[in-house]
Amino acid sequence: MKPYFRMIFFVLIMGAITSIFLVGMDALTKDRILANQEAELKSTILDAYNISYNLTNIHTVFDSSVTKETRDGITFYIDQVSGSVSYVFEGGGVWGPIIGVITLQNDFETIVKITILQQEETPGLGGVVAETQYLANFIGKKMLPSIQIIKNATDSPNEVNAISGATRTSNAFANILNTSYASAKTAWDARNG
């Protein structure tokens, strides 16, 4: 029995020490990480609205040019000048969550810009979903009735070319965009109607 006790004891000690390290690191870095993520979100939205800023005045510029409204759990960032709306979408990709910002014109249908904030897809294949070049394909397309990411997409406003060699990520991405749009549209219509 004694060797088993020693083993359990060792695991407990090791688990405790490593947990302490992780909890400590989390406490130390949590605020900075949140601040970094917030700054990134703001800079992404300001970029979509073509508003210039720099690292020092980003928060004041953001607060004065963008209106923030939360409805049914979804936060909308509205450009005070053009009326364009942005919201954050999130969903499961193939390897991990895909999180990004989508900006729509004030008709809440035409895409102005999509930017990816976080993804863990295969580099070079699914990872292309985060590249500006690929996301440029979405500009001007429409979300209604749904966006389709398929092979050999036509010029139809609802179709975008899939990433070659990355069918799963392309499907997952389309799914994420459409699902998040459905909830966002419901909330947006409730706000206006």
Partner 1 sequence: MERIIELLIATITNHNIALAYILGMCPLIAISTNVRNAKGMGIAVIFVVTLTAMINYPIYMLLKSTGTTYLSLLVFIITIAATVQFLEMFLDKFFPKLYNAFGIFLPLITVNCIVLAVSLFFVNREYTFVETTAFSFGSSVGWFLAIVLVAGIRQKMAKNMDLPKGLAGRGIVFIILGILSLAFIGFTGLANI
Partner 2 sequence: MKWIRLRYKRWFNILKDGLLTNNQIVVAVLGICSSLAVSNRVENSIAMGLGVTFVVMASSAMVSLIRNFIPSKLRMVTYMVIISTFVIMVQMFLEAYFFTIAKALGAYVGLIITNCIVMGRAEAFAVKNPVRYTLIDGFASGMGYTYILVLVAIVRELLAFGTILNFQVMPEGFPKWVVMAMAPGGFFVLAIMIWIIRQASKNFEVEVQAK
The neighbour count for residue 109, using CB atoms within 10 Å, is 15
Question: Mind giving me the DSSP string for 58-104?
Answer: HHHHHHHHEEEEEETTEEEEEETTT--EEEEEEEE-SSSEEEEEEEE
Which member of 1, 2, 32, 155 binds partner 2 (CB under 8 A)?
Answer: 32
Pairing of strands 159-161, 148-150: parallel
Among partner 1, partner 2, none, partner that 97 touches (CB below 5 to 8 angstroms by kind): partner 1
**Interacting residues with partner 1 between 81 and 100 (CB under 8 A):** 92, 95-97
Q: Are 101 and 87 in contact (CB under 8 A)?
A: yes
| Interface with partner 1, residue 22, by CB under 8 A | yes
Q: Give the Cβ contact number of residue 151 at 10 Å.
A: 9
Binding-site size, partner 1 (CB under 8 A): 13
Kindly compute the dihedral angle of the four CA atoms of residues 56, 59, 64, 67, in this order, to the nearest 10 degrees: 160
Interacting residue with partner 2 among 108, 121, 129, 149 (CB under 8 A): 121
Binding to partner 1 in span 29-48, by CB under 8 A: none
**What is the Cα–Cα distance from 106 to 40, expressed in whole angstroms?**
23
Which residue lies nearer to partner 1 by CB, 26 or 131? 26
Residue 92 interacts, among partner 1, partner 2, none and using kind-specific CB cut-offs from 5 to 8 Å, with partner 1
Contacts with partner 2: how many residues (CB under 8 A)? Answer: 31
Binding residues for partner 1 (CB under 8 A) = 11, 15, 18-19, 22-23, 26, 92, 95-97, 167-168
Binding residues for partner 2 (CB under 8 A) = 3, 6-7, 10-11, 14-15, 18, 21-22, 25-26, 28-29, 32-33, 36, 40, 95-96, 118-125, 127, 164-165
